[in-house]
Amino acid sequence: MTEHAASNVHKEDVLQEHLIQSLIQGQGYERRVGSEKSRAYEGEIHFDKSLAMDRELVVRFLKETQPESWEKLEQHYTASAEDVLFKQLDKALKDRGLLDVLRQGIKIVPGIPFTLCYFRPASGLEPKRMVEYQANILSVMDEVVYSQKNGNRLDVVLFLNGLPVASIEAKNLLTGTTFRHAERQYRQDRSPSGEPLLTFKRGALVHFAIDEDNVSMTTRLQNGKTRFLPFNRGRDGGAGNPDVEGEHRIAYLYSDGDWGSAIFSRSVLIDVIGQFITLEVSGKNEVMIFPRFQQLDAVRKIMAHAKTCGAGKNYLVQHSAGSGKSNTIGWLAHHAINLHDQDDAQVFHTAIIVTDRVVLDRQLQGTVAQFEQTQGVVKKIDGTSRQLKDAIAKGARIIVTTIQKFSTDHLKALSGQGKRNFAVIIDEAHSSQSGKSAQAMTDALTREATSSDDIEDLIAEYQKARGPQSNISFFAFTATPRNVTLERFGVPGPDGLPHPFHLYSMRQAIEEGFILDVLQNYMTYKAYYQLEKTIEDDPELSGRRGQRKVARYANLHATAIGQKVEIIVEHYRRHVMGMLNGQAKAMIVTQSREHALKYYFGVKKYIRENGYQDLKALVAFSGELELDGQTYTEADLNDFSETELPGRFDGFKPDGTPYPESYQILIVAEKYQTGFDQPKLCAMYVDRKLAGLQAVQTLARLNRTRAGKDQTFILDFQNTIEDIQEAFRPFYEATTVEAISDPNMVYDLEGRLYRFGYLDKDEVERFAQTYFKGPLSGADRALLEGLVKQAVARFETDDDEGRQEEFRQLLRSYGRFYAFIAQVMRLEDTDLEKLSAYGNWLSRLLPNREVPPEIEITDDMVRLQAFKVEQKEDGDASLSAGDTQALKAISEFGAKPYTEDEKKELSEIVKAFNDRHGTEFSEADMIRFEQVNREIMDDDMTEMLRNNPPDVVYAAFRDAFFQGAIRMFQRDNEMKNIVLTDAEARDKATRHFFNRAIREARETI
């Protein structure tokens, strides 16, 4: 290297010149001159500061691609043709923005159309359109003097047909400057005021700050308020970019490589402008969305794979919270319906976006629709299932719906779709895709008429329909995949285990600042209590059940609640209250509704006694709750409806005006622990055991970013730091499984079920012969129920309640595990399908289990002598690179008996029924409601409860439970009258069995 060359390495323009030369030589860019400072300057400057464009290239593009329009313009306006063109173009840019002008073009009186950009056609079947696309002119300028006020200039500007699409400030690490200096330069020295090139919407669509290693970008310059977002590929599971042999780490911007085509290449840049960038408008607020690297990378790689491999493949996309999942789903759907294979055949005819949320995510619907450039492409199914059936039958291009709408009779009549290919995009994929709704969806999209009358053939076809389908590709999105999600949708890696097809990890999101690390300030406390037995050697206090009840008694004691409340409130006032200019919020997470209520009263009392008039608390729990002879509801305590709580807690009405009262602390029991998005939450106080996915989802309420929020606080009275770290480890980087679940366990379960002696293979066979023949008549249903009741009779003669309970749980586990395995692989044993159908009926007809007698701990039995809470651990609980843990494969199937809280609540319900109506119902009578649960808890309801916040799904459960209760008590007038006429008593029972159903849905396979 010469002395001169060596000295040039340390100049700031080295990187920008390398980028420019790479674009010219590798991507077909034309070099233009932005000022006298440009290396290419030879006496002519091509940049027009007042218009912020390259006039010469605009004219050249229009003349070459649209000669007829240009001729008409010259004929109409003669010598002033160019002036008229640029006057109207400038007006359109100011009024509509550059993005719309590039997509829609302009018209000039008397109706002369001009297209400013030709986008790549979906297929090569129209050669003329491909020629037009290739005629787009990409150009680059360096040292662009853009300012009309001073001599300010930008390092690099990229143009499309003479219009500026991206600006770049480049720094050189060898000079001691980084992309952060470039960001600062944009904020401090690149004021957009009065500068067309930098004006939001009117000027460049995106602005990049780069050095050799890192890239960040923004779509709106706002001086000191400008927010840059990372635009990096990720490095070893975290932030940054990987090394590239012989190149800078940011080579993906300007060179093709193992990442695919360069970001600034013709194919990618023009596609981003045409199919990705969007302007979100909310009231007066406008945000230009430019895809972040992992969003763009995911869509491009998935489409490239599908283009080569066709339909019938599965894709798991593990993208962390804060990654813009809704946008990625929207972009993927629009790209999928325009994808053609190497032979120019359409890969997917329809994209169906499904969610298992009961209330369809309106944001997702709106996001997908906003990318629509041809009206009518997107069908939002917010009505009935008949609307869904019509949309599929008529070949709608993009459908957005809930998965539950597939489980209706309307969809059962749909057939003839097997020759059409579907891209099914799943929002928040968990285990729900093994439920009946998922099976109904597959049936609807593959069903063809059959001529076979042989029952075995019919069962084999039914079983085959559960497995992978050649005309359906699944694209599953989630931040926290479960083991079954990985096995269902993951891609086999070199180790033979399933892995996500595309990853944007929690670790990378934290390191890049898209979400906060909620474990950064974690403090744990240990409670110590001393009890005195007032009745020595009371047998009810011995054993584990008695010990748990005593511990609960101590935890609920006013002294215990009071000490914890003092710690919480004082911590909030000292460390949290001043954050976000006094708008910081906190959440107290409790272990039961009774705990939440006592905490609420405790917090209010402490605030009142200490004169903290600047603090107010809210409480959230479901249903009614009786305490000390008085009945409470959330709405009564807060003095407004449950639906108002999120807005009241935030402090602002939907129209943006503030509420007169502000609230700082929200006390919850189950509600708002998932699916609650409140960026002002800065602290969480945990007084309940958390584990696994529940811990991650609960604590993730804190991770939302907001200006001025750079840290969070967690005080935990129940868990250790190690407990929480263990819960987070599987989801911190790429989620993996230790091993693939052994499909042969389905035969283990089958054998265990038959060994109980309740099942008879001949009865199962006779059941199948009727069940699978087609639509069932009333006589068919009576016959099937009679067959199943023979097993019920054998079950009832067994006086071993432990065996009975084990059988109940194993029967349910078999149904779920078989449905899962049958979707992962093609099975060819129809006996398994027969037992699945039979077991589903049997599970609903089995009698209820007995509830163990309640142990009620009172002050007469024990007395709290001493209680104290001491700080135990305090520090940074954050995980580090490589601190991960694989999920375990499915291996255990166990029973879930009544918990202590459930038993106590049941006793209260029985007492309330009897007090209100003068009845003498026992707990055994009330447990008959368990039969209602078994009847309505099919796979759909189970998955609905498993994957939605309780407050979202309660209404659907309540309606199904009410209908089931009426059917059950047809011959029991006393109970039926209460269910029909006493809404308060009915709701208490419904809430109890709803909570039972929620727990079973989430804790069993």
Give the model's pLDDT for residue 452.
54
Q: Are residues 481 and 564 in the same domain?
A: no
Which residue's entry shows tokens 């969806």? 441
pLDDT recorded at residue 540: 47
607 and 473 housed in the same domain: no
More confident residue, 904 or 147: 147
Q: Tell me: the pLDDT tens digits for 369-415?
A: 666 566 667 776 766 777 877 888 888 888 888 777 776 555 555 55
Distance in angstroms (rounded) separating the CA atoms of residues 517 and 132: 48
Angle at 398 between CA 396 and CA 402, to 5 degrees: 105
Helix, coil or strand: residue 75: helix
Q: Is residue 437 part of a domain?
A: yes
- pLDDT averaged over the chain? 84
* pLDDT confidence tier of residue 875, bands split at 50, 70 and 90: confident
Q: Are residues 125 and 13 in the same domain?
A: yes
Indicate whether 58 belongs to any domain.
yes
In a shared domain, residues 380 and 473 = yes
Residue 950 has a CB neighbour count (10 Å cut-off) of: 22
- Whether 425 and 482 map to the same domain: the answer is yes
Please check whether residues 581 and 487 belong to one and the same domain. no
Q: Which residue has the higher pLDDT, 384 or 843?
A: 843
pLDDT above 70: residue 450: no
Gap between the Cα atoms of 195 and 610, Å rounded = 56
Average pLDDT score over residue span 820-828: 84
Same domain, 568 and 695: yes
Task: For residue 282, tell me if it sits in a domain.
Answer: no
How confident is residue 359, by pLDDT bands cut at 50, 70 and 90?
very low
What one-letter code names the amino acid at 598?
K
- Which of 732, 754, 780 terminates a domain? The answer is 732
- pLDDT (tens digit, 9 = 90+) per residue, 746-768? 998 999 999 999 999 999 999 99
Integer CA distances (angstroms), 615 to 239, 537, 676, in order:
39, 46, 22
Q: What is the pLDDT of residue 401?
A: 83
- Whether the pLDDT of residue 885 is over 50: the answer is yes
Kindly report, residue by residue over 638-648, the tens digit of the pLDDT.
999 888 898 99
Does residue 327 share a domain with residue 262?
A: no
Looking at the structure of the chain, the number of domains it has is 4
Q: Comparing 159-173, 231-245, 923-937, which segment has the lowest mean pLDDT?
A: 923-937
The Cα–Cα gap between 845 and 813 comes to 16
**Structure tokens given for 679:** 């960026």
Looking at the structure, tell me whether residues 548 and 487 fall in a common domain. Answer: no
What is the DSSP code string of 626-695?
Answer: EETTEEEEHHHHHTS-GGGHHHHHHTB-TTSPBPSS---EEEESSTTSSS---TTEEEEEEES---HHHH
The 10s digit of each residue's pLDDT in 464-484 is 777 778 888 989 998 888 888
Strand, coil or helix: 454? coil
- Asked if residue 403 lies in contact with residue 368, where contact means CB atoms within 8 angstroms, the answer is no
CA dist., res. 572 & res. 569, Å (int) = 5
pLDDT at 543: 46
The pLDDT value given to residue 308: 95
Residue 944 falls within a domain, yes or no?
A: yes
User: Is residue 402 classed as helix, strand or coil in its secondary structure?
Assistant: strand
What range does the domain containing 916 cover? 900-1003
The DSSP output letter for 1005 is -
Which of 504, 527, 546 is the C-terminal boundary of a domain?
504
Question: Quick one: pLDDT at residue 408?
Answer: 58
pLDDT of 431: 44
Task: Say whether both 330 and 406 belong to one domain.
Answer: yes
At 975 the pLDDT is 66
Using DSSP, state whether 390 is helix, strand or coil: helix
Token pair, residue 706, equals 């907001």
- pLDDT at 1000 (0 to 100): 65
The answer to whether residue 530 sits within a structural domain is no
Beta strands, E only, 194-349? 206-210, 215-218, 229-230, 278-282, 285-289, 314-319
Distance CA 541, CA 350 (A): 63
Tens of pLDDT, residue by residue over 78-93, are 999 999 999 999 999 9
**N-term to C-term CA, the chain:** 66
In this predicted model, what pLDDT tens digit does every residue of 138-188 receive, in sequence order? 999 999 999 988 889 999 999 999 999 999 999 999 888 999 999 999 999
Has residue 799 been placed in a domain?
no
pLDDT value at 541 more than 50: no
| Selected residue with higher pLDDT from 856 and 946 | 946
Give the model's pLDDT for residue 389. Answer: 78
Does the pLDDT of residue 946 top 70, yes or no?
Answer: no
pLDDT digits (tens, 9 = 90+) for 646-674: 899 999 887 778 999 999 999 998 788 77
More confident residue, 546 or 700: 700
Same domain assignment for residues 240 and 330: no
Instruction: Tokens for 609, please give them.
Output: 């006694």
SS3 42: coil
367 and 325, same domain (yes or no): yes
Q: Would you say residue 981 has pLDDT above 90? A: no
Give backbone dihedrals phi and psi of 277, rounded to 5 degrees, phi first. -55, 135
How does residue 133 score in pLDDT terms, banded at 50, 70 and 90?
Answer: very high
Query: What is the structure's pLDDT at 629?
Result: 84
Tell me, what's the pLDDT at 376?
65
Cα–Cα distance for residue pair 472/704, rounded to 1 Å: 35
Q: Which of 233, 257, 275 is the last residue of a domain?
A: 275
SS3 for 210?
strand
Residue 315 resides in a domain = yes
Q: Which of 167, 117, 171, 161 is nearest to 146 (CA)?
A: 167
pLDDT for residue 325: 86
Q: pLDDT class for 492, splitting at 50, 70, 90?
A: very high
Out of 13-22, 503-512, 896-905, pick the least confident.
896-905
Q: Model confidence at 592, in pLDDT bands (50, 70, 90)?
A: confident
List the CATH number of the domain containing 408.
3.40.50.300
Decide: 667 and 617 in contact? Cβ < 8 Å: yes
Name residue 380's amino acid.
K
Query: CA 177, 181, 186, 191 torsion: positive or negative?
Result: negative
pLDDT tens digits for 199-222? 999 999 999 999 999 999 999 999
Residue 631 lies in a domain: yes
